Amino acid sequence: MKNFSITTKKGDDGTTGLLDNSRVQKYDLRPETYGTLDEAAAFLGLARAKSTLARTKEILLVIQNHLYLINAELACPVDSLHVLKYKISTAHLQQLETFSASTEKELALPRKFVLYGQSESSAYLDIARAVVRRAERRFVELNQIEKLDHATISAYLNRLSDTLFLLARYEEYRNGIPFVHPDDSNPSDLGDPCGLIGD
């Protein structure tokens, strides 16, 4: 059996291949979008490795599999989507919403900002959430330029940042770590004026 090598040298010219065998510049908005989401998935893997909670690990593993489906779609031009055997669906979105709702029920969250970094695992989840937000911005931009016609991806990314915020707080709560808020001298009692969560 011939060994497989990940090194093809095809990208030495600054281009990358899409799933329809076409090539685009590595700075193109498509690879920028799925590359950002891949970055988020890597942080989710780190959070999963650091967590000691079985529930967190199970949810993150499911989400990582969902992100692979999304990235496959993002790496495939619209005219070639038929080549994909599996795509993200409303069933995946509903599964994510179930994770979010069940996690939120266990928490008593004040309507205030929280300071990140109370535990290693929650900090990684907060980083992943911030990267997902960036991926969402890239997706919206891509969708303006090249209509992807897939509302489920947009909804999934929006819900995902909420789910990761809740999982980060769940990590702290289940490990007996209190939520920490900005000093009273900061406008933390204004809720979430910057739209960091709950959009």
Residue 101 lies in a domain: yes
Residue 5 lies in a domain: no
Domain count, the chain: 1
| Domain limits for position 156 | 26-190
DSSP for 30-69 reads HHHHHHHHHHHHHHHHHHHHH---HHHHHHHHHHHHHHHH
Instruction: Give pLDDT, residue 48.
Output: 97
Residue 186 lies in a domain: yes
Percentage of the chain modeled with pLDDT above 90: 51
Cα separation, 199 vs 184, in Å, equals 25
Residue 116 lies in a domain: yes
As to burial, measured by CB atoms within 10 angstroms (0-12 exposed, 13-18 middle, 19+ buried), residue 18 is: middle
* CATH number for position 149: 1.20.1200.10
Instruction: Give pLDDT, residue 148.
Output: 73
Instruction: Give pLDDT, residue 100.
Output: 96
pLDDT digits (tens, 9 = 90+) for 159-187: 999 999 999 999 999 999 988 888 754 55
For residue 62, is pLDDT > 70?
Answer: yes
